[in-house]
Structure 1
Amino acid sequence: MEPEVLERFTWYMREQSALTVMFHTKVAEQMGLSATDEKCIDLAMRADGPLTAGRLAELSGLSTGAVTGVIDRLERAGYVRRVRDPHDRRKVLVEVTVGDVEKFGELFANAYHSLVEVLGHFDDAELAVIERYLKLQIETFRKRVIDT
């Protein structure tokens, strides 16, 4: 790969990352959370039901100690609650309690419309390449950066 190409893509990724962090910081402020807490509630909401603190730590890349603090704050803010695992009473699960999810949906409306606008510039073949890139980027980034 040419150094100029790598430099260009590095700039794009850094800019996208900065914008994403700023966006989630803004959303978190509106929710009364830190950006880390907001991303953890997002991970919990996308999980297939309640999850353990250990699983949230794996998904977030945070230490179990840091996740305990996140769960404490989310519980105090009313976004999650700790419940006993019905299959193993020794385990504690984290359950999302956000009743009015649509309330937070409006926080993401502009981001959603931005995505629709941008994707509208590409045909199906181009979208397939973009999707392949994003999947590989997520998988590789998680493996090399988050899960290390």
Structure 2
Amino acid sequence: MTQSEASAIYRRYLSALMLHGQAGARTVDLGATDLYALNILELSGPMTPGELGARAGLTTGPTTRLVDRLEAAGYVRRVPVPGDRRKITVELVGTPAGLDRALAPARRHIGEIIAGYGPEQRELLFDYFRRAADAYVEATEELRTD
């Protein structure tokens, strides 16, 4: 396989992930960024709006609107930080009804693919996922500091 072919396959994969994320969000009446923010909170736990905005790639104004939308929909709540009346954290309190149903087909299809690999191959795949996630976070930070 040439470098060009490998690049095209990888770009197609990334595009498919993004399209699925957008479609899944629409299925539960959310924007892709809203669903992404809920995922961030589920994976990392409560955080300040500033931290959530930074991880979601948003500035202050859009972050406030994001938290307002998610709070109005009943997915998050603002919690005062003890000892600092000016500071709050945002914590997850629910996930969209139907989200598991919306994501089930992709989980099933990907599960079937992964099940076709042997244990060592699965270890390699998940090692890649872990390392690639870290690499993308690092690359994002590099873009933000340029």
- What TM-score, normalized by structure 1, do the two folds share? 0.82
Q: Identity of paired residues, percent?
A: 26
CA distance in 2, matches of 1:118, 1:144: 28
What is the SS of the residue equivalent to 2:58? coil
Matched, 1:44 2:41: yes
Aligned residues: 143
Q: Is contact 2:28–2:97 with CA below 8 Å preserved after alignment? A: no
Q: Residue 75 in 1 paired to residue 59 in 2?
A: no
Distance 2:101 2:28 in 1: 12
How many angstroms does 1:57 deviate by?
2.2
Give the drift of 1:104.
Answer: 2.1
Equivalent residues of 2:49, 2:64 under 8 A apart: yes
Partners of 1:109 and 1:87 in 2: how far apart?
43
Partner of 1:32: 29
Q: Give the RMSD, CA atoms, in angstroms.
A: 2.2
> Which structure 1 segments of 5+ residues have no match?
none
Q: Return the offset for 1:88.
A: 3.4
Q: Note if 1:106 corresponds to 2:101.
A: yes
Give the partner amino acid of 2:59: S
Residue number in structure 2 paired with 1:64: 60
Relative to 1, partners in 2 of residues 1:80 and 1:145: Cα closer, same or farther, differing over 3 Å?
Answer: same
User: Structure 2: which 5+ residue stretches go unaligned?
Assistant: none
Asked if residue 128 in structure 1 is aligned to residue 120 in structure 2, the reply is: no
Please list the CA deviations of residues 93-144 of structure 1 after superposition, one character each: whole Å capped at 9, or x if unmatched.
112221x667422221112111210111211111222222222211111111
Secondary structure of the residue aligned to 1:51 is coil
List per-residue Cα deviations over 1:20-62 (Å, max 9, x = no partner): 12211122112211111111111112223x2111221232233
CA 103–31 in structure 1, closer or farther in 2 if over 3 Å, else same = closer
Asked whether the equivalents of residues 47 and 91 of structure 2 are also in contact (C-alpha less than 8 Å), the reply is: yes
**TM-score in terms of structure 2 length:** 0.83
Residue 134 of structure 2: aligned partner: 139
Structure 1 residues 66 and 57, CA gap change in structure 2 (3 angstroms) = same
User: SS where residue 91 of structure 1 aligns?
Assistant: strand
The 3-state SS of whatever aligns with 2:123 is helix
